[in-house]
Amino acid sequence: MKDRITEVLLQEIDALTKEEIEGLLEVPKKADMGDYAFPCFRLAKAYRKAPNLISQEITEKIREKNYDFIEKIENVGGYINVFLDKEGYAKSLMEKICQDNYGSSDIGKGKTVCIDYSSPNVAKNFHVGHLRTTIIGNSLYKIFDKLGYHVERINHLGDWGTQFGKLIVAYKKWGSKEEVEEKGIEELMKIYVKFHEEAEKDPSLDDQAREWFVKMEQGDEEALSIWQWFKDISLVEYKRIYKLLGIEFDHYTGESFYRDKTQAVVDTLNEHHLLVESDGAYIVPLDEYNMAPCLITKKDGSSIYATRDLAALFYRKDTYHFDKCLYVTGLEQKLHFAQVFKVIELLGYDWYKDLDHIPYGLVSMEGGKLSTRSGNVIYAEEILHESISKIYEIINEKNPDLPDKEKVSRIVGVGAIIFNDLYNQRIKDVIFNWDKILNFDGETGPYVQYTYARCASVFRKAGNVDIDSVKDIDYKVLTEESTMALIKDIERFPAVIQDAANKYEPFIISRFVMSVAQHFNKFYHDCQINVDDENVKMARLKVVRAAMNTLKDGLDLLGISCPEQM
């Protein structure tokens, strides 16, 4: 319909191209302003007339031609408001949104996207800060996959660096094998925090930590054995959390994977005369780009984050031949990635343009910033299980006879946390407020999931009719205002997915599924579905199926599942 209206306008407007007209054509927020509206302000200069006079003239010309798919056309101020023939419009929308796998695209066919996300620091507990990168990265993977891209999901574990020297010192001074074996990562966190407390009183501990890390870099057997033990303990916990979230990775290639590849980075920088000595360390100066220098090797010769990230970039480009490489990390790493990307550019590689840092805001509960070093940590697993437990209590109170209460509580509890994270722009901070997160009536995950379950309930009451096989639909039934509002909203799905991918913003999807849920509940309230009139019943069930599919697919793009009953 948009194409047809564009063609109609194109016949009357010679000052704009088809693409320009299509770009200006908009869907009004209020139904009484038409199904589509075209602003004439851009035409004022070309036609040397006021926009309201231009809109009036064009409206009269179109009205005279009496197009069968246009019910009426009006000019209001500088706008041309087009009201479509409702039955024809409903038919065109329904035929579109009822297609198999609606919203999918092959726009990314033959292209590869690498997404680096989650990446917790080994031997440190998986806190809610890690939860953000994991949830955002997983959603971006699903969005790009929906658009036909091949996606490499990379968990770049923080499993190398001076912090492991600190942990080895802490273990040797205050830890025991028995305690670590029994308590696992909890004990590692405890002695790590103690190291920082003691290092404030005795700075020589930091020197010892650096010495142990140098031993690791040099292949010392004892140092690497302890490090591997810490890593194995950590992965058990991380994979348990990923399973709870329903998240998988293609690669667990952490920083340690690139330790034998960093020398090649140093050699390449030397060959391009980019490396400069600075107090015994080696840097790439970036002052002319208003950035601090990019540190490549420390005074003791050991590698640093930037060295390993550069090695990882070369490896990923050579191995996956990516068209995009995305890094989902906190805003505080903005400078780090700007430096790394600038070094790639200075080396003369044009694919630096394909590198993007995807930052996000902080997570807090009761206003407290999370810090591993101080021990003020909110564990992700505890948050998830608490959400599941609270949902179980709500279900027990409201629907005690619900089958599979534990499974439903897990789906809704985990979904509530994910939806709360993704409901606003990722750069905004996330604050945990249980009353808000778990509300079944607010703008929450449980509300959208409950709407999906309501759709499923409609079909159970209708005898699980195979509505997908019903082709003979009476579209006159679907011209009622709340019905049209719902199917027009669903029709946006492909454009919404594309927009979310272009902006790396999953919140665009979450806002969309919330809008569809709200429009569905208005439709559900206004239009009785399981009625005696089969004509009406089948038409409305077709709409329910479209809404149900869209809610499920939209929530899936966020990493959220849908229960059939709640």
The pLDDT of 365-386, averaged and rounded, is 66
Confidence band, pLDDT 50/70/90 cuts, at residue 366: low
Rg value, the chain, Cα: 29
- Checking if the pLDDT of 533 tops 60, the result is yes
Which helix (H) or strand (E) element contains residue 39? strand 36-39
Q: What distance in Å separates the CA atoms of residue 559 and residue 135, rounded to the nearest whole number?
A: 7
pLDDT score recorded for residue 476: 94
Hey, is 82 helix, strand or coil? strand
CATH architecture of 385-558: Orthogonal Bundle (1.10)
Q: Which of 39-43, 336-340, 364-368 has the lowest mean pLDDT?
A: 364-368
Q: How large is the average pLDDT for residues 101-115?
A: 97
Q: Which residues contact 443 (CB under 8 A, 6 or more apart)?
A: 423, 514
Cβ neighbours of 545 (radius 10 Å): 20
- Over residues 242-269, mean pLDDT: 94
Name the strands in the sheet holding 79-84, side by side, starting at the edge strand that comes first in the sequence. 36-39, 79-84, 70-76
The Cα-based distances of 218 to 160, 226, 548 in angstroms read 13, 14, 58
Taking the CA of residue 123 as centre, how many other CA atoms within 13 Å lie in the half-sphere pointing to its CB? 27
Beta-carbon contacts of 130 under 8 Å, excluding residues fewer than 6 positions away, are 118, 119, 120, 380
The residue behind tokens 């019943």 is 537
Question: Rounded to an integer, what is the distance from CA 24 to the centroid of its chain?
Answer: 28
Percent with pLDDT over 70 in the chain: 98
449/232 Cα distance (integer angstroms): 36
231, 236, 239, 243: CA torsion to nearest 10: -170
Do the domains 2-84 and 385-558 sit in the same CATH topology, yes or no? no
CA dist., res. 205 & res. 195, Å (int): 8
Q: Are 500 and 146 in contact (CB under 8 A)?
A: no
Find which of 231-235, 462-466, 479-483, 512-516 is predicted with most confidence, using mean pLDDT.
512-516
Confidence band of 371 (pLDDT split at 50, 70, 90): very low
Residue 293 to residues 171, 281, 342, 553, Cα–Cα distance (Å): 34, 11, 11, 45
What is the chain's mean pLDDT, rounded? Answer: 93
Give the whole-angstrom CA distance, residue 208 versus residue 82: 75
The model carries a pTM of 0.89
Q: Of 369, 376, 309, whose CA–CA distance to 344 is shortest? A: 309
Q: Measured between alpha carbons, how far apart are the two ends of the chain, in Å?
A: 38
Q: Kindly report the CA angle at 439 between 438 and 441, in degrees rounded to 5?
A: 150
Q: What is the separation of C-alpha 274 from the centre of its chain, rounded to a whole number of angstroms?
A: 36
**Residue indicated by tokens 């599924």:** 513
Classify residue 34 as left (phi > 0), alpha (psi -120 to 50) or beta: left
Classify strands 79-84 and 70-76 as parallel, antiparallel or unpaired.
antiparallel
Residue ranges per domain, the chain?
Answer: 2-84, 385-558
pLDDT class of 32 with cuts at 50, 70, 90: confident
Share of the chain above pLDDT 90, in %: 82
Contact (CB, 8 A) for 183 and 175: no
Sheet of 112-116, strand order: 150-154, 112-116, 324-330, 355-360
Task: For 300-313, give one letter per residue: b (16+ CB within 10 A) or e.
Answer: eebbbbbbbbbbbb
Helix (H) or strand (E) holding 365: strand 363-365
Mean pLDDT over 458-476 rounds to 91
- Residues 179-210: tens digit of each pLDDT: 998 998 889 989 999 999 999 999 999 999 99
Among candidate residues 420, 425, 407, the one with its CA nearest the CA of residue 446: 420
Q: Which CATH number does 2-84 carry? A: 3.30.1360.70
| Average pLDDT of the residues in 318-346 | 97
Kindly indicate the confidence band of residue 1, based on its pLDDT and cuts at 50, 70 and 90.
confident
How does pLDDT run across 416-438, given as a tens digit for each residue? 999 999 999 999 988 878 888 88
Does the pLDDT of residue 374 top 80, yes or no? no
Cα–Cα distance for residue pair 496/558, rounded to 1 Å = 13
pLDDT (mean) for 173-184: 92
How far out from the chain centre does Cα 161 lie?
29
**Per-residue model confidence as pLDDT tens digits over 278-315:** 999 999 999 999 999 999 998 877 778 899 999 999 99
Distance CA 414, CA 562 (A): 11
pLDDT at 302: 74
* pLDDT tens by residue, 116-156: 999 998 988 888 888 999 999 999 999 999 999 999 999 99
Q: Are 462 and 529 in contact (CB under 8 A)?
A: yes
Residue labelled with tokens 């079944």: 440
pLDDT surpasses 80 at 263: yes
Of 72, 44, 48, the C-alpha closest to 60 is 72
